[in-house]
Amino acid sequence: MVTPDQFFAFWDAAGTPPLKVWQGDTTGFTGSDQADTLAMGTYSGELFGAGGDDLLYGGIGNANLYGGSGNDRLYAKHDNDRLWGNAGDDRFFASGGDDSAYGGTGNDLILGGAGDDWISGDSDGYSTTEIPGAPGGDDKLRGGAGRDVIYGNAGDDRLLGDGGDDGLHGGDGNDMLKGGVGADWVVGDDAAGLTTGDDVLFGDAGNDTIIGGSGNDRMYGGDDGDLIYTGSGNDTALGGAGRDTFMVGGEGSNTLSGGADADVFYFANSGASGDTLIKDFDPVDEVLIIQYAVATTPQDQLASFLAGAVQAGQDVIWTNDAGTHSITLNNTALTDLTADNFFAAGDTPYETY
Protein backbone atom coordinates (compact mmCIF):
# COMPACT_ATOMS: atom_id res chain seq x y z
CA MET A 1 0.00 0.00 0.00
CA VAL A 2 1.54 3.33 -1.08
CA THR A 3 0.67 6.97 -0.26
CA PRO A 4 2.12 10.22 -1.69
CA ASP A 5 4.50 10.35 1.30
CA GLN A 6 5.49 6.93 2.56
CA PHE A 7 3.31 4.22 4.03
CA PHE A 8 3.97 0.84 5.60
CA ALA A 9 1.43 -1.71 6.74
CA PHE A 10 1.33 -5.42 7.50
CA TRP A 11 -1.43 -7.96 7.83
CA ASP A 12 -1.63 -11.31 9.51
CA ALA A 13 -1.91 -14.56 7.56
CA ALA A 14 -5.74 -14.52 7.79
CA GLY A 15 -5.91 -11.20 5.95
CA THR A 16 -7.40 -9.22 8.86
CA PRO A 17 -7.08 -5.41 8.85
CA PRO A 18 -3.60 -3.94 9.36
CA LEU A 19 -2.02 -4.73 12.70
CA LYS A 20 0.18 -1.65 12.49
CA VAL A 21 0.26 1.36 10.21
CA TRP A 22 3.07 3.89 9.96
CA GLN A 23 3.38 6.96 7.73
CA GLY A 24 6.15 9.54 7.45
CA ASP A 25 9.66 10.06 6.10
CA THR A 26 11.76 7.62 8.12
CA THR A 27 14.20 5.47 6.15
CA GLY A 28 13.49 2.05 7.64
CA PHE A 29 10.79 -0.24 8.96
CA THR A 30 10.72 -3.79 10.37
CA GLY A 31 7.77 -6.16 10.21
CA SER A 32 6.80 -8.93 12.60
CA ASP A 33 7.05 -12.71 12.74
CA GLN A 34 3.73 -12.93 10.92
CA ALA A 35 3.05 -12.78 7.18
CA ASP A 36 3.59 -9.07 6.55
CA THR A 37 2.93 -6.82 3.56
CA LEU A 38 5.29 -3.84 3.52
CA ALA A 39 5.34 -1.19 0.80
CA MET A 40 7.57 1.83 0.28
CA GLY A 41 6.40 5.12 -1.23
CA THR A 42 8.43 8.02 -2.58
CA TYR A 43 11.47 7.85 -0.28
CA SER A 44 14.62 5.75 -0.31
CA GLY A 45 14.88 3.36 2.63
CA GLU A 46 14.85 -0.17 4.01
CA LEU A 47 12.18 -2.76 4.73
CA PHE A 48 12.82 -5.81 6.94
CA GLY A 49 10.29 -8.62 6.69
CA ALA A 50 11.59 -10.60 9.71
CA GLY A 51 9.68 -13.90 10.21
CA GLY A 52 6.71 -15.10 8.20
CA ASP A 53 5.98 -15.28 4.48
CA ASP A 54 6.23 -11.60 3.60
CA LEU A 55 5.44 -9.36 0.63
CA LEU A 56 7.86 -6.45 0.25
CA TYR A 57 7.47 -3.69 -2.35
CA GLY A 58 9.98 -1.02 -3.26
CA GLY A 59 8.88 2.47 -4.19
CA ILE A 60 10.03 5.40 -6.29
CA GLY A 61 13.33 5.79 -4.40
CA ASN A 62 16.24 3.36 -3.95
CA ALA A 63 15.04 0.56 -1.67
CA ASN A 64 16.77 -2.16 0.35
CA LEU A 65 14.38 -5.08 0.91
CA TYR A 66 15.21 -7.89 3.37
CA GLY A 67 12.88 -10.88 3.35
CA GLY A 68 13.86 -12.67 6.54
CA SER A 69 13.26 -16.32 7.43
CA GLY A 70 10.02 -17.09 5.57
CA ASN A 71 9.10 -17.80 1.96
CA ASP A 72 9.03 -14.20 0.82
CA ARG A 73 8.20 -12.22 -2.30
CA LEU A 74 10.24 -9.10 -3.02
CA TYR A 75 9.33 -6.59 -5.72
CA ALA A 76 11.74 -3.92 -6.92
CA LYS A 77 10.20 -0.82 -8.44
CA HIS A 78 11.43 2.24 -10.35
CA ASP A 79 14.96 2.96 -9.11
CA ASN A 80 18.07 0.94 -8.23
CA ASP A 81 16.96 -1.51 -5.53
CA ARG A 82 18.76 -4.21 -3.51
CA LEU A 83 16.89 -7.33 -2.45
CA TRP A 84 17.88 -10.05 0.03
CA GLY A 85 15.77 -13.17 0.52
CA ASN A 86 17.86 -14.95 3.20
CA ALA A 87 16.28 -18.19 4.49
CA GLY A 88 13.24 -19.67 2.79
CA ASP A 89 12.12 -20.31 -0.79
CA ASP A 90 11.88 -16.74 -2.01
CA ARG A 91 10.65 -15.01 -5.16
CA PHE A 92 12.28 -11.86 -6.53
CA PHE A 93 11.00 -9.54 -9.23
CA ALA A 94 13.29 -6.77 -10.48
CA SER A 95 12.01 -3.78 -12.44
CA GLY A 96 13.37 -0.96 -14.58
CA GLY A 97 16.37 0.05 -12.46
CA ASP A 98 19.81 -1.49 -12.00
CA ASP A 99 18.84 -3.92 -9.25
CA SER A 100 20.76 -6.40 -7.06
CA ALA A 101 19.15 -9.59 -5.74
CA TYR A 102 20.64 -12.14 -3.32
CA GLY A 103 18.60 -15.29 -2.79
CA GLY A 104 19.91 -16.89 0.39
CA THR A 105 19.78 -20.53 1.46
CA GLY A 106 16.45 -21.69 0.00
CA ASN A 107 15.30 -22.71 -3.47
CA ASP A 108 14.76 -19.27 -4.94
CA LEU A 109 13.34 -17.78 -8.12
CA ILE A 110 14.89 -14.47 -9.23
CA LEU A 111 13.70 -12.58 -12.31
CA GLY A 112 15.68 -9.59 -13.51
CA GLY A 113 14.15 -6.55 -15.14
CA ALA A 114 14.98 -4.06 -17.86
CA GLY A 115 18.06 -2.64 -16.12
CA ASP A 116 21.61 -3.94 -15.63
CA ASP A 117 21.06 -6.32 -12.71
CA TRP A 118 23.31 -8.26 -10.31
CA ILE A 119 21.72 -11.58 -9.33
CA SER A 120 23.06 -14.18 -6.90
CA GLY A 121 21.28 -17.35 -5.86
CA ASP A 122 22.99 -17.53 -2.45
CA SER A 123 24.33 -14.92 -0.04
CA ASP A 124 25.71 -14.81 3.49
CA GLY A 125 23.00 -13.14 5.58
CA TYR A 126 22.71 -9.46 4.71
CA SER A 127 26.27 -9.37 3.35
CA THR A 128 26.91 -9.06 -0.38
CA THR A 129 30.13 -11.08 -0.13
CA GLU A 130 30.06 -14.26 -2.22
CA ILE A 131 31.38 -17.37 -0.46
CA PRO A 132 32.30 -20.33 -2.72
CA GLY A 133 30.80 -23.51 -1.33
CA ALA A 134 28.36 -21.76 1.02
CA PRO A 135 25.15 -23.74 1.61
CA GLY A 136 22.42 -22.87 -0.83
CA GLY A 137 19.42 -24.15 -2.71
CA ASP A 138 18.53 -25.13 -6.26
CA ASP A 139 17.83 -21.70 -7.68
CA LYS A 140 16.18 -20.43 -10.86
CA LEU A 141 17.77 -17.13 -11.89
CA ARG A 142 16.86 -15.05 -14.91
CA GLY A 143 18.21 -11.73 -16.09
CA GLY A 144 16.35 -9.26 -18.26
CA ALA A 145 16.95 -6.91 -21.15
CA GLY A 146 20.02 -5.28 -19.58
CA ARG A 147 23.60 -6.35 -18.98
CA ASP A 148 23.23 -8.73 -16.04
CA VAL A 149 25.65 -10.57 -13.74
CA ILE A 150 24.18 -13.80 -12.33
CA TYR A 151 25.73 -16.17 -9.75
CA GLY A 152 24.20 -19.56 -8.98
CA ASN A 153 26.72 -20.53 -6.25
CA ALA A 154 25.80 -23.68 -4.27
CA GLY A 155 23.06 -26.01 -5.48
CA ASP A 156 21.87 -27.31 -8.85
CA ASP A 157 20.90 -24.01 -10.42
CA ARG A 158 19.27 -22.78 -13.63
CA LEU A 159 20.57 -19.47 -14.99
CA LEU A 160 19.23 -17.56 -18.00
CA GLY A 161 20.80 -14.30 -19.12
CA ASP A 162 18.04 -13.28 -21.55
CA GLY A 163 18.80 -10.04 -23.46
CA GLY A 164 22.01 -8.04 -23.09
CA ASP A 165 25.69 -8.98 -22.69
CA ASP A 166 25.48 -11.06 -19.51
CA GLY A 167 27.88 -12.80 -17.13
CA LEU A 168 26.65 -16.16 -15.80
CA HIS A 169 28.55 -18.11 -13.11
CA GLY A 170 27.17 -21.48 -12.04
CA GLY A 171 29.33 -22.26 -9.00
CA ASP A 172 28.95 -25.52 -7.07
CA GLY A 173 26.50 -28.13 -8.25
CA ASN A 174 25.19 -29.46 -11.55
CA ASP A 175 24.03 -26.28 -13.23
CA MET A 176 22.38 -25.28 -16.48
CA LEU A 177 23.39 -21.88 -17.87
CA LYS A 178 22.01 -20.19 -20.97
CA GLY A 179 23.32 -16.83 -22.07
CA GLY A 180 20.50 -15.73 -24.36
CA VAL A 181 20.83 -12.97 -26.94
CA GLY A 182 24.03 -10.93 -26.65
CA ALA A 183 27.77 -11.48 -26.17
CA ASP A 184 27.70 -13.46 -22.91
CA TRP A 185 30.26 -14.82 -20.46
CA VAL A 186 29.11 -18.28 -19.32
CA VAL A 187 31.14 -20.08 -16.62
CA GLY A 188 30.31 -23.45 -15.07
CA ASP A 189 32.64 -23.38 -12.03
CA ASP A 190 34.43 -20.09 -11.54
CA ALA A 191 36.56 -20.09 -8.39
CA ALA A 192 39.09 -22.14 -6.46
CA GLY A 193 37.59 -24.39 -3.80
CA LEU A 194 34.41 -25.23 -5.67
CA THR A 195 33.28 -28.83 -5.84
CA THR A 196 32.98 -30.67 -9.13
CA GLY A 197 29.78 -30.06 -11.06
CA ASP A 198 28.55 -31.51 -14.35
CA ASP A 199 27.25 -28.38 -16.04
CA VAL A 200 25.31 -27.66 -19.22
CA LEU A 201 26.30 -24.33 -20.79
CA PHE A 202 24.60 -22.55 -23.70
CA GLY A 203 25.91 -19.43 -25.37
CA ASP A 204 22.95 -18.85 -27.70
CA ALA A 205 23.09 -15.88 -30.11
CA GLY A 206 26.07 -13.50 -29.95
CA ASN A 207 29.85 -13.85 -29.59
CA ASP A 208 30.00 -15.78 -26.31
CA THR A 209 32.77 -16.95 -23.98
CA ILE A 210 31.99 -20.34 -22.42
CA ILE A 211 34.18 -21.86 -19.68
CA GLY A 212 33.57 -25.40 -18.51
CA GLY A 213 35.57 -25.61 -15.29
CA SER A 214 35.62 -28.86 -13.33
CA GLY A 215 33.27 -31.74 -14.00
CA ASN A 216 31.97 -33.42 -17.12
CA ASP A 217 30.43 -30.47 -18.91
CA ARG A 218 28.38 -30.00 -22.07
CA MET A 219 28.91 -26.72 -23.90
CA TYR A 220 26.99 -25.28 -26.84
CA GLY A 221 28.14 -22.09 -28.52
CA GLY A 222 25.06 -21.34 -30.61
CA ASP A 223 24.98 -18.71 -33.33
CA ASP A 224 27.99 -16.50 -34.14
CA GLY A 225 31.67 -17.03 -33.33
CA ASP A 226 32.26 -18.25 -29.77
CA LEU A 227 35.27 -18.86 -27.52
CA ILE A 228 34.90 -22.19 -25.68
CA TYR A 229 37.25 -23.38 -22.91
CA THR A 230 37.25 -26.99 -21.80
CA GLY A 231 38.46 -27.68 -18.27
CA SER A 232 39.02 -30.68 -16.05
CA GLY A 233 36.72 -33.59 -16.73
CA ASN A 234 35.35 -35.24 -19.84
CA ASP A 235 33.73 -32.41 -21.76
CA THR A 236 31.56 -32.27 -24.87
CA ALA A 237 31.51 -29.02 -26.84
CA LEU A 238 29.59 -27.96 -29.95
CA GLY A 239 30.45 -24.63 -31.52
CA GLY A 240 27.44 -24.18 -33.79
CA ALA A 241 27.31 -21.46 -36.44
CA GLY A 242 30.16 -18.96 -36.77
CA ARG A 243 33.96 -19.18 -36.51
CA ASP A 244 34.44 -20.77 -33.09
CA THR A 245 37.63 -21.21 -31.11
CA PHE A 246 38.11 -24.19 -28.79
CA MET A 247 40.76 -23.83 -26.06
CA VAL A 248 41.60 -27.32 -24.75
CA GLY A 249 43.26 -27.74 -21.36
CA GLY A 250 43.02 -29.59 -18.08
CA GLU A 251 42.75 -33.28 -17.30
CA GLY A 252 40.17 -35.39 -19.07
CA SER A 253 38.98 -36.43 -22.51
CA ASN A 254 36.98 -34.14 -24.76
CA THR A 255 34.67 -34.47 -27.74
CA LEU A 256 34.54 -31.38 -29.95
CA SER A 257 32.34 -30.46 -32.90
CA GLY A 258 32.99 -27.17 -34.61
CA GLY A 259 29.67 -26.98 -36.41
CA ALA A 260 29.07 -24.71 -39.37
CA ASP A 261 31.86 -22.41 -40.65
CA ALA A 262 35.64 -22.68 -40.24
CA ASP A 263 36.79 -23.21 -36.65
CA VAL A 264 40.02 -23.10 -34.64
CA PHE A 265 41.22 -25.80 -32.21
CA TYR A 266 43.95 -24.76 -29.76
CA PHE A 267 46.01 -27.28 -27.74
CA ALA A 268 49.04 -27.15 -25.42
CA ASN A 269 51.71 -29.74 -26.27
CA SER A 270 52.84 -29.91 -22.64
CA GLY A 271 49.29 -30.05 -21.29
CA ALA A 272 47.69 -32.49 -18.90
CA SER A 273 46.74 -36.03 -19.88
CA GLY A 274 43.64 -36.78 -21.89
CA ASP A 275 42.29 -37.61 -25.33
CA THR A 276 40.40 -35.28 -27.65
CA LEU A 277 38.16 -36.26 -30.54
CA ILE A 278 37.35 -33.64 -33.19
CA LYS A 279 34.32 -35.05 -34.96
CA ASP A 280 34.08 -32.70 -37.93
CA PHE A 281 37.55 -31.29 -38.65
CA ASP A 282 37.68 -29.95 -42.22
CA PRO A 283 41.22 -29.66 -43.69
CA VAL A 284 39.91 -27.23 -46.31
CA ASP A 285 39.55 -24.27 -43.98
CA GLU A 286 39.98 -25.22 -40.30
CA VAL A 287 43.00 -24.65 -38.09
CA LEU A 288 44.94 -26.61 -35.47
CA ILE A 289 47.17 -24.73 -33.04
CA ILE A 290 49.49 -26.94 -30.99
CA GLN A 291 52.09 -25.29 -28.78
CA TYR A 292 55.59 -26.29 -29.84
CA ALA A 293 58.74 -24.80 -28.35
CA VAL A 294 60.76 -24.96 -31.60
CA ALA A 295 58.19 -25.06 -34.40
CA THR A 296 57.90 -21.39 -35.35
CA THR A 297 56.50 -21.45 -38.90
CA PRO A 298 53.38 -23.12 -40.31
CA GLN A 299 55.61 -25.52 -42.22
CA ASP A 300 57.45 -26.47 -39.00
CA GLN A 301 54.12 -26.91 -37.21
CA LEU A 302 52.95 -29.27 -39.96
CA ALA A 303 56.19 -31.27 -39.86
CA SER A 304 56.04 -31.63 -36.06
CA PHE A 305 52.41 -32.74 -36.23
CA LEU A 306 53.08 -35.33 -38.95
CA ALA A 307 55.99 -36.72 -36.91
CA GLY A 308 53.60 -37.63 -34.10
CA ALA A 309 50.60 -38.64 -36.21
CA VAL A 310 49.43 -41.90 -37.78
CA GLN A 311 46.61 -42.84 -40.12
CA ALA A 312 44.20 -45.20 -38.33
CA GLY A 313 41.53 -46.24 -40.79
CA GLN A 314 39.60 -43.11 -41.76
CA ASP A 315 41.00 -41.10 -38.83
CA VAL A 316 44.22 -39.26 -38.03
CA ILE A 317 45.56 -39.80 -34.50
CA TRP A 318 48.29 -37.53 -33.12
CA THR A 319 50.07 -38.01 -29.77
CA ASN A 320 52.06 -35.31 -28.00
CA ASP A 321 55.77 -35.63 -27.20
CA ALA A 322 55.12 -36.74 -23.61
CA GLY A 323 52.60 -39.38 -24.67
CA THR A 324 49.99 -37.92 -22.33
CA HIS A 325 47.54 -36.43 -24.81
CA SER A 326 46.14 -37.52 -28.16
CA ILE A 327 44.07 -35.75 -30.80
CA THR A 328 41.86 -37.70 -33.20
CA LEU A 329 40.66 -36.03 -36.40
CA ASN A 330 37.60 -37.97 -37.45
CA ASN A 331 37.24 -38.86 -41.16
CA THR A 332 40.48 -37.08 -42.10
CA ALA A 333 43.46 -38.20 -44.20
CA LEU A 334 47.06 -37.25 -43.36
CA THR A 335 47.59 -36.39 -47.00
CA ASP A 336 44.87 -33.71 -46.78
CA LEU A 337 46.74 -31.70 -44.14
CA THR A 338 48.86 -28.75 -45.28
CA ALA A 339 50.66 -25.81 -43.70
CA ASP A 340 47.43 -23.84 -44.14
CA ASN A 341 46.00 -25.86 -41.24
CA PHE A 342 48.66 -24.50 -38.86
CA PHE A 343 49.92 -21.12 -37.73
CA ALA A 344 53.29 -19.75 -36.78
CA ALA A 345 54.25 -19.33 -33.13
CA GLY A 346 52.89 -16.09 -31.72
CA ASP A 347 50.06 -15.79 -34.25
CA THR A 348 46.51 -15.54 -32.93
CA PRO A 349 44.25 -16.60 -35.81
CA TYR A 350 41.25 -16.77 -33.51
CA GLU A 351 38.78 -14.28 -32.13
CA THR A 352 38.82 -12.97 -28.56
CA TYR A 353 35.56 -11.80 -27.06
DSSP H or E stretch at residue 298: helix 298-307
Task: State yes or no: pLDDT of 117 exceeds 80.
Answer: yes
User: What does pLDDT average to over the chain?
Assistant: 81
Q: What is the pLDDT of residues 124-159, one digit of tens each?
A: 433 333 333 344 578 888 888 888 888 887 788 888
What mean pLDDT do residues 12-24 have? 47
Q: How does DSSP assign 190-248, residue by residue?
A: -STTPPP---EEE--SSS-EEE--SSS-EEE--SS--EEE--SS-EEEE--SS--EEE-
Mean pLDDT lowest for which of 11-20, 276-285, 329-338? Answer: 11-20
Please tell me the distance from the alpha carbon of residue 324 to that of residue 271, in angstroms, as a whole number: 8
Query: How many other CB atoms are found less than 10 A from the CB of residue 192?
Result: 6
> Which pLDDT does position 294 carry in this prediction?
62
More confident residue, 314 or 295: 314
> Which pLDDT does position 1 carry in this prediction?
41
> Could you give phi then psi for residue 300, rounded to 5 degrees?
-65, -40
Contact indicator for 166, 180 with CB cutoff of 8 Å: yes
Query: How many other CB atoms are found less than 10 A from the CB of residue 216?
Result: 17
Q: What is the pLDDT of residues 329-353, one digit of tens each?
A: 999 999 999 999 998 655 665 555 4
Q: What is the pLDDT of residues 162-188, one digit of tens each?
A: 888 888 888 888 898 998 888 888 888
> Which pLDDT does position 232 carry in this prediction?
85
At residue 196 the predicted structure's pLDDT band, cuts being 50, 70 and 90, is low
Residue 188 burial by CB count (10 A; 0-12/13-18/19+): exposed, middle or buried? Answer: buried
> Which pLDDT does position 269 carry in this prediction?
59
Residue 18 burial by CB count (10 A; 0-12/13-18/19+): exposed, middle or buried? Answer: middle
> Which pLDDT does position 99 carry in this prediction?
86
> Which pLDDT does position 170 carry in this prediction?
86
Contact indicator for 210, 219 with CB cutoff of 8 Å: yes
Task: State yes or no: pLDDT of 15 exceeds 70.
Answer: no
pTM: 0.78
The amino acid occupying position 285 is D
